[in-house]
Chain A
Amino acid sequence: MRQLITRLKESELRETEERLRASAGGDALAGDLPAVDTGAIRSPDGDALFSLRDVGVWYGAKHAVSGITMEIPVRKVTALIGPSGCGKSTLLRCLNRMNDLIPGAKVEGEIKYHGANIYAKKVDPVEVRRRIGMVFQKPNPFPKSIKDNVTFGAKVNGIKGSPDSICERALRQAALWEEVKNDLNKSGLALSGGQQQRLCIARALAVQPDVILMDEPCSALDPIATLKIEDLIRELTREYTIIIVTHNMQQAARVSDYTAFLLAQEHGVNGQLVEYGPTNEIFTNPRDKRTEDYITGRFG
């Protein structure tokens, strides 16, 4: 009982702390505040590709997420988990400036990618997005042929090389080549859901990005297609950094190296980072009571 109370106090303390930092707005103050280190948010070893500092997102007057400070390692799979409305997709969409497209969305704080703030004034979102690809929740192939789907990004970005070799390379990387190599002129919409999603991954890979963001890429797929995508994700970490949002905790446990657990005070408002660290530690030995409750299925 006493343990529970201390834990509660700790979390309250941290929340107050985070709120303070969020209300401070800029990094000027935030840097001076002593961070309350409960050990729940651990920076990964090795090189960080993204450094987030006090990141928050407003949708109009709604503070969707706030006070996210974390580092995302290079060539690893980082999973963002948490209940619906905790802001994990919102956070993901900040990383390639897809939130720019939502009217009324405003991002605060600082997101550094290879040391450069991607929200700096002179940064062009198109430059960001061609380096940081994205795969969406629902497979969204274009109503074009498989080949045109894959070469779309190369075409719009003016990437040189023969369309055929770009197409084959990307489809092989996405483990789809063997299944479609004789049907490259068939519509992308004629594929099964799992194949469509791998086509979307191939399409993202063809732009030669550095990072691939995946927003619940398997939520519309059956278990077998899901396993194929998960295998593919593991395969891709040799060359790419992958950040995946998932509802499915087993999936996070299976594919990711690091896991971040987000939680909102109420649906869609003030999502915060509760715990972040190596996946096996998060799942076997969570340091925050709320993480433990969530991964053991007590809520969410």
Chain B
Amino acid sequence: MAAEALKLQAAGSVARRQWVARASRYLFLGATLAALSILALLMFLTAKEGLGRLELDFITNYPSRFADKAGIRPALLGTIWVVGVGVVLAIPIAVGTAIWIEEFAPKNGLLAFVKLNLANLAGVPSIIYGILGLAVFVRFYNMGPVILAAGFTLALMIIPMTVIASQEAIRQVPPSQRDGALALGATRWQAVWHSVLPSAVPGIMTGIILAVSRAVGETAAIIMIGGFTFLQFSPSIFTPIQSLMDAFTILPIQIYGWTIDPREEFRQNAAAAIIVLMVGVMALNIGAALIRERFRRS
């Protein structure tokens, strides 16, 4: 009797399960495409409306009541200043807090309390930070609606999320790295500085960039502080101290101001400003990716 060759084609239960597997693949591809296509559509519509206005004059001009002469110079510089000040203030505090929590803090009730509050603060709506900034920096410290006050407010806003992201990055470093350093006679701090932090930098960078992206697009808190919509001067890099105490505007406020203008041409200006903002955020993300790669390799 000739033995019949074993047939190994999918049949019965295997066939059914494989069908589900194939279907799931397309389902998830569809989900990804849906998200991407909505984003692409938005970008396309914005580009169609705004690309025509996007020329050097638009970047370097001050706002104007004539749409074709209006530019975003104060808003762009204001954004860079405010976010720059906020990030410079926030990073050391946030990373320091994360290091303390993960590496030095005694595991007790106080620590649990601090962690709970950080998580809560990260979820507080930005308008609340705006009110806080208005009350504390603008009014109590009598700074007025200036770059420094906005920088402080943004710093407060992004510290909790940066702390949480940095904590996560530090926790990802395997304990064996820390033990390895300590077993060689490193102090706690040396183990953190030479062994833990270099491994955590990519993750910390990601957290910082996410925070910066959020800060760049922040509108509510800054409106609360009192960012202007129509400024005929911009902060100077040559007199940084005075600049910190200058009034300012930022891109999202400028965009908002133009969007609510009934005239069609100003809406084109808004679209063009959105493109500038998006390109800026994208550049930040690419920069972060490059830094991450660099650290990962070395």
Contacts and interface: CB of A to CB of B under 8 A. Distances in A.
Interface stretch (B142-150, B184-192, B222-230, B283-291): B184-192
- What range describes how many residues of A lie at the interface? 20 to 34
B169 to A, nearest CB: 14
25 contacts: A98-B179, A101-B179, A103-B107, A129-B183, A129-B184, A129-B185, A130-B184, A133-B183, A133-B184, A136-B176, A136-B180, A141-B180, A142-B181, A143-B198, A143-B199, A144-B198, A152-B184, A152-B194, A152-B195, A156-B184, A156-B186, A200-B180, A203-B184, A204-B183, A204-B184
B293 to A, nearest CB: 13
A155 B193 CA distance: 13
B73 to A, nearest CB: 44
Given A103-B107, A152-B194, A140 B182 contact: no
Contact of A98 (B174, B177, B183, B187): B183
Contacts of A204: 183-184
Most buried by A among B174, B182, B183, B194: B183
Contacts of B107: 103
Most buried by B among A126, A130, A207: A126
Interface string A244-265: 0000000000000000000000
Interface string B155-190: 000000000000000000010110111111111001
B108 to A, nearest CB: 10
Contacts, number: 66
A157 interface: yes
B184 A140 contact: no
Contacts of A101: 179, 182
B185 A136 contact: no
Interface of chain B, main secondary structure: helix
Nearest to A200: B180
A153 B191 CA distance: 10
A140 B185 contact: no
Given A103-B107, A126-B187, A136-B179, 19 more contacts: A96-B183, A101-B179, A129-B185, A130-B184, A133-B183, A134-B183, A140-B174, A142-B181, A142-B195, A143-B198, A144-B198, A152-B181, A156-B184, A156-B187, A156-B190, A157-B184, A203-B180, A204-B183, A204-B184
